[in-house]
Structure formats: C-alpha cells, structure tokens
Amino acid sequence: MSKNYKMKASRVGKGLSQADLAEMVGVTRQTIIAIEQGDYNPTIKLCRAICKTLGTSLDELFMEDEHEQSI
C-alpha cells in the first residue's frame, strides 16, 4: 500500500497533530500513523470519521489517482 500523503497534507493544513486527529476520531495515534504510512487499510466507518473531522470528502483523501495505482 502506498503512503497517504493527501491525508497528511489535509491534517497539517488544518493545523492538527497526529495525536489531535486520533483523539478527535477516537483511535490511537499509532492507527493514524499506520494509515498515513500506508500500513493499515481503515474501514469505511473510520475513513468517514477522518473525512468529517478534516472537512474533506472520501474521494479527496482515500481515492487513488490512476497514475498512483500504476506506480
């Protein structure tokens, strides 16, 4: 799985640390790290909670572009 740079950029853009985001969506910081590193594939429920917190859509954060998929 590739790294989720979009989520990291969106989180940093909102001025949130990994710990802040983790607390807001009710998971551990390690889970947020694992998602950003591409080590963990979150459920749709968690994806939605993250999107809601960061004020973005699922497509923006978790949908891979075509050129990303080919890499």
Partner 1 sequence: MNNQFDERQIALRGKAFTISFIVAIVTIGVMYFLTDNFFIQCSNHCLFMILLWVPLTVCFFLQLAFHSFGGLQNTKRTLIIGIIFLLCGSFIVASLFFSSPVFYGNGLLTDQAGSLFTGICIIFIGCASCFFARKDSKNDES
Q: Where are the beta strands (DSSP E) in the chain?
A: none
Count of alpha carbons within 13 angstroms of residue 28, beta-carbon side:
4
Binding characters for partner 1, 6-45, by CB under 8 A (x = yes): -----------xxx------xxxxxx-xx-xx--x-xx-x
2 near partner 1, judged by CB under 8 A: no
Q: Say how far apart CA 50 and CA 48 lie, in whole Å.
A: 5
Q: Which is nearer to partner 1, 19 or 63 (CB)?
A: 19
State in angstroms the smallest separation of the CB of 22 from partner 1: 9
